[in-house]
Amino acid sequence: VHSKGAIWRCQILILNIIYLMQNLKSKHYKKNILVIHSNLASSCKQFLINQKQCNHNMNFLIMGPPGAGKGTQAKILAEKYNFMHLSTGDMLRHEIDNKSDIGLEAKNYMNQGFLVPDDVLLSIMENTLTSLKGIGIILDGFPRTIPQAEGLEAIFQKLDLQIDYVINVHVDEDILINRLTNRAKNSGRSDDAEEVIINRQKVYSELTEPLIQFYKDQLLTINGDGTVEEVTQRILEKIQ
């Protein structure tokens, strides 16, 4: 996987070298050498930074309660680092659209109104990660439970991959409920929205928060209260 920025820097390096060769006999030789040397050093430094970001093929996992803005941050990070942004819904739709055996099995559960079982989700995850091996990814919304996390860890080990960072976007529950309640009112949703929102937060706490302990060695907890730009900056300060 190649970063556009890295390729652009390569082109700059080549142009600088050509310029150097053309000016070897110039009366301003010494001055030209100093200028070009400075340009080359700057270009090389940025090139190496981009290559490190691109070729390390980092794998991120981003988590957070409903309304914390993790999906938005996942998209921003994916664009910045040339990652593949993966959500459970996207992977399910891909397998279903391709009419794969595992996709049809998942569709059968969904059509009956059932949750897709962990073993089916993990099979889809393994298929996806195998096809993307060598490409940096950011997993958005998966895993949600400890059994899913254990299954994902087994897949990563099988593929000789690792999760570099687990980003936990944290927002106080009162702030989240207020944020989501206002959003529901502004969109004209039902009066029981607050009750539904509170229940979603409760379900998240019971099922997903244990993952914080599971991923404690890779965990980066980010304050998610603020503008999108402020939260992004906090994440970048932690991972750069």
Residues with active-site annotation: 70, 144, 183, 189, 200
Contact indicator for 67, 193 with CB cutoff of 8 Å: no
Quote the strand ranges of 24-120, DSSP E: 59-63, 84-87
* CA distances (Å), origin 216, targets 64, 209, 212, 231: 14, 11, 6, 21
In our burial notation (b when 16+ CB lie closer than 10 A, e otherwise), range 163-186 reads bebbbbbebeeeebbebbbeebee
**Residue 212 in tokens:** 């914080």
Half-sphere exposure of 170 (CA within 13 A, CB side): 11
d(CA 126, CA 138): 14
Residue type, 174: D
Contact indicator for 58, 164 with CB cutoff of 8 Å: yes
Residue 9 gets the label, from left (phi > 0), alpha (psi -120 to 50) or beta, of: alpha
Contact indicator for 62, 25 with CB cutoff of 8 Å: no
